[in-house]
Structure 1
Amino acid sequence: MEKLTPSEVQEKLSSVPDWRLTDEKWIERKFRFRDYLKGIDFVQSVANLSEQANHHPFISIDYKVVTLRISSWNAKGLTALDFELATKYDEVYLKVKS
């Protein structure tokens, strides 16, 4: 996949409003959970999706908060795939947190 231009990144960010751009090459979101194990369930689901896509985020678990950071190493920045996965991770969050 090709690296998105800065204007394409801004356009794609509007489709994932809870994600933020960091260092001009990552998108990041913090997911909050009622309890620790819900966060762990979320991470397992994210890991399964990421493995299927062969595209893996950085994952940080801080008790009830899980932070995901996504970028495309091969493209040296953000691609459409990063935003597709962000949307899927958001969908998983809505299922797991309820």
Structure 2
Amino acid sequence: MEKLNEEAIRNKLIENQNWKLTDGKWIERKYRFQDYLNGIEFVQSVAQLSEQKNHHPFISIDYKLITIKITSWRAKGLTELDFELAQKYDELYLQIKK
């Protein structure tokens, strides 16, 4: 996949308002859960989707707070796939959070 330019990244961040740009090459979001096991269920769902797409984020588990960071190593920055997965992670969050 091709690396997105700064303008494209800004536009994608407008569409994905819960995500923020970090270090110029990552997007990151924190997800809060009511209990620990819901967070773990979310992480398992993210892992399965990421494995299917062969595109794996960094995941941090801090009790009921899950942080996801994603970038495209081969492109040396952010790509369409990063933002596509960000949207899918958000959808998984809404399904599990309820």
Same fold (TM over 0.5): yes
Letter in 2 for 1:29: R
Letter in 2 for 1:24: G
Per-residue CA deviation, residues 19-77 of structure 1 (Å, 9 max, x unaligned), is 00000100000000000000000000000000000000000000000000000000000
SS of aligned partner of 1:56: coil
Map residues 17-96 of structure 1 onto 2, 5 A cutoff: 17-96=17-96
Aligned residues: 98
Unaligned segments of structure 2, at least 5 residues: none
TM-score (norm 1): 0.99
Report what 1:13 is aligned to. 13
SS of aligned partner of 1:74: coil
Unaligned segments of structure 1, at least 5 residues: none
SS of aligned partner of 2:15: coil
SS of aligned partner of 1:14: helix
Moved over 3 A (4+): none
The share of aligned pairs that are identical, in percent, is: 67
